[in-house]
Amino acid sequence: EAQVTQNPRYLITVTGKKLTVTCSQNMNHEYMSWYRQDPGLGLRQIYYSMNVEVTDKGDVPEGYKVSRKEKRNFPLILESPSPNQTSLYFCASSLSTSGSYEQYFGPGTRLTVT
């Protein structure tokens, strides 16, 4: 089944404790992206990647890191989480880097930072 998977689905952590949210897609998609969703703000893009070893900042990259060492994986790293990073996070992928195709979304990771 074609899908984007994220782990963990739920995470409660404390300020400053490094964490990684994994994302994997099995569709051989070129493009992958991370978004955060906050009430009343829709989805905002954190980082995106157009290919292996090619990543770029979205609209809200501060406090986040990503890597794309393999085509299928695009982990999101929070080196020192803070309470303002409490949010619902989505990973997405798309067939091409042209923007002409839809994005497929993972099920989301609900992160709480206390």
Partner 1 sequence: SQQGEEDPQALSIQEGENATMNCSYKTSINNLQWYRQNSGRGLVHLILIRSNEREKHSGRLRVTLDTSKKSSSLLITASRAADTASYFCATVLGFNTGGFKTIFGAGTRLFVKA
* Residues lying near partner 1 in the complex (CB under 8 A): 4, 33, 35, 40-45, 48, 50, 56, 58, 88, 90, 92, 97-108, 110
Burial of 86 from C-beta contacts in 10 A (0-12 / 13-18 / 19+): middle
Query: How far apart are CB 83 and partner 1 at their closest, in Å?
Result: 20
Per DSSP, 75 falls in state -
Terminal Cα distance for the chain, rounded: 36
Query: How far apart are CB 77 and partner 1 at their closest, in Å?
Result: 21
Query: How far apart are CB 70 and partner 1 at their closest, in Å?
Result: 20
